[in-house]
Structure 1
Amino acid sequence: MDIPVKKSKRKNGYSDHLKAALFLSPTWLLLLIFFIGPMLLTLIFSFTNLALTGVEASHLRFVGFENFARMFQDPEFRTSVWNTIIFVFFSAVVGQCFFGFLIAFLMKKKNPMFRRIVGLIIIAAWVTPEVVVSFCWVAFLGDSGTANWLIGLFGVEPVAWLFSFPMVSVVIANIWRGTAFSMMVFQSALDDIPKEVEEAAIMDGATRFQVTRFITIPMVKGTIATNMMLVTLQTLGVFTLIYTMTGGGPGVSTSTLPVFMYKQAFVSYQLGYGTAISLVLLVLGAGASLLYMKTLKVKV
């Protein structure tokens, strides 16, 4: 009598798995079409001479690692990698993560109405379209912009910010726009810390700095790692802000990898070379994520 029961359970198990597979099939299909498929095509095209114009446009062929060899011999590529590292480090790690945590920490015990007002002001920049933010900062930093008007009040001569300090300009603009995300993430994590833990430490004689260093920060370490990864990956892909403000210039002074990739793929029409650059960008993002997890010793 035991054997039929086991077969029945096994059949029910197969039936449940089949139903689950049928329900998930639309999701897998969408992932295949819009995620896995494009990734595979990118990988394939990076080893070809794919182009939109010229003789190569009608003669697609496999070129092996030729695109990558050309890339690492290109001085502009090396400059773009360095610009990307600078932009991501100061804009994402130092800027958005630090100021996001600082704002969230300062608003932790403030009046709820005050927190809402400050939060709405900061979030307004985040929800504004990136191209609009870019034009706002171009107007702010222009020759006759607000920045020069403000320093003019102190007798300082106008500065061509986008020409003299292009990287500083795009870094500040991206910090201004993206800090809200980190603020919301850290605000949620800080609100989940039990008040009793901090109060007990203060009663034992710990200073506010010691409580922050040895209790608050370790308790949100996982959130810090997650936020750093998300903000870094998001900043690695920033294109519209930089391209609208400076076009990657003057020269190549703000040409990050997304800007360099765009110019090679859609200005020079070398799609094979452009997709090879995108793979390097993918590797940089994966490497940064692994570095955060190893350094902060958390599993995300």
Structure 2
Amino acid sequence: MRGRSLLRLLPLSPAVALLLLFLGGPLAYCVYIAFTDLQLTGQAESSFVGLENFRTAFQDEAFLNAVWLTLVFTVLSSLVGQNTLGLVLAGLMRRASKPVRTLTGGIIVTAWVLPEVVAGFLLYAFFRDQGTLNAVLGLLHLPAQNWLFSLPVLAVSFANVWRGTAFSMLVYSAALNDIPREVEEAAEMDGAGGWRRAWHITLPMIRRSIGTNLMLNTLQTLSVFGLIWVMTRGGPGGKSQTLPLFMYEQAFQNSLIGYGTAVALLLLLVGSLFSVVYLRLLRTEV
């Protein structure tokens, strides 16, 4: 019996070996570096410093600010923005005609397939002090401002919503198409309004899709780097510096590879905590 189980696992062995080689090996090396004082320049050899990098991080106001901004950016652009807007668009497109679905879906997916750097330049041109947004506000005789200076976190959050909503829309479109029409028709015949049908029928039936989408969106948003770097570079004064940008600054601008890697591990821990919460919610019965 045990031999048969091993034979069934044999076809998976090449994939497992590749994962251990290209994922497990670098991850283990990064864990080791996080406990050293490795630097890019000015140091002949690195030495083991234990938890010093982590103690330095939690005593660093810039790191704590980056943690806070990362949570704000993730909540605004992923949990609220992409998730909610994707669900609304999927619901509207389900009831729209085929030409409208095709046109709208094409426009939204186009934003999703754009490279992150290209999307960053487009949104930078939209939000800059002489950009598209202020030009439109001027035509409407409304006050304009430098959005990338006054509200940088909101600007980059909107940019991430604009770029990433298509993924949520596609996930929810597939989930909504799996809901039997008979169930919704029966609820409508019983006198349930649109909001009651959505709350008591639609959302519970796509609960697992919501949890999966939230988990994937959150992990993707936590790792956003190019979009923010192109638009604000974490400024002004660190007001949009999330953990990926803080990690890059410490590791490659300040040459503190050990400290930057420790920050990267802490970012990995944040993503793991989000994943654990979502997985527990997925196992919870409604």
Q: TM-score range by the shorter chain?
A: over 0.9
Q: Structure 2 unaligned segments of length 5 or more: list them.
A: none
Q: Work out the CA distance in 2 between the residues paired with 1:17 and 1:277.
A: 39
Q: Work out the CA distance in 2 between the residues paired with 1:18 and 1:193.
A: 39
The residue that corresponds to 1:268 in the other structure is 254
Flag the 1:29–1:297 CA change in 2: closer, same or farther, 3 A.
closer
CA drift at 1:208: 1.3
Q: Work out the CA distance in 2 between the residues paired with 1:143 and 1:280.
A: 35
Q: Structure 1 unaligned segments of length 5 or more: list them.
A: 1-9
Flag the 1:63–1:151 CA change in 2: closer, same or farther, 3 A.
same
Deviation digits for residues 249-300 of structure 1 (CA, Å, limit 9, x no counterpart): 001100100000000011111111111101111111111122233456549x
1:171 to 134, 157, 164: 157
The residue that corresponds to 1:38 in the other structure is 26
Flag the 1:29–1:295 CA change in 2: closer, same or farther, 3 A.
closer
Flag the 1:155–1:24 CA change in 2: closer, same or farther, 3 A.
same
The residue that corresponds to 2:190 in the other structure is 204
Identity of aligned residues (%): 47
CA drift at 1:99: 0.1
The residue that corresponds to 1:17 in the other structure is 6
Q: Work out the CA distance in 1 between the residues paired with 2:229 and 2:50.
A: 31
Q: Work out the CA distance in 2 between the residues paired with 1:16 and 1:78.
A: 48
Contact kept, 8 Å, 2:211 with 2:281, in 1: the verdict is no
Aligned residue identity for 1:213: W
Flag the 1:18–1:290 CA change in 2: closer, same or farther, 3 A.
closer
Contact kept, 8 Å, 1:140 with 1:146, in 2: the verdict is yes
CA drift at 1:167: 0.8
CA drift at 1:24: 2.9
1:112 to 77, 90, 98: 98
Flag the 1:110–1:265 CA change in 2: closer, same or farther, 3 A.
same
Instruction: Give the TM-score, by structure 2 length.
Output: 0.95
Flag the 1:207–1:157 CA change in 2: closer, same or farther, 3 A.
closer
Matches within 5 A, 1:1-300: 14=3, 17-18=6-7, 20-21=9-10, 23-55=11-43, 58-295=44-281, 297-298=283-284
Instruction: Give the TM-score, by structure 1 length.
Output: 0.91
Q: Work out the CA distance in 2 between the residues paired with 1:135 and 1:233.
A: 23
C-alpha root-mean-square deviation of aligned residues, in Å? Answer: 1.7
Flag the 1:20–1:290 CA change in 2: closer, same or farther, 3 A.
closer
SS of residue matched to 1:159 = coil
Deviation digits for residues 27-65 of structure 1 (CA, Å, limit 9, x no counterpart): 12210122111111111111111111112xx22211100
Q: Work out the CA distance in 1 between the residues paired with 2:175 and 2:251.
A: 41
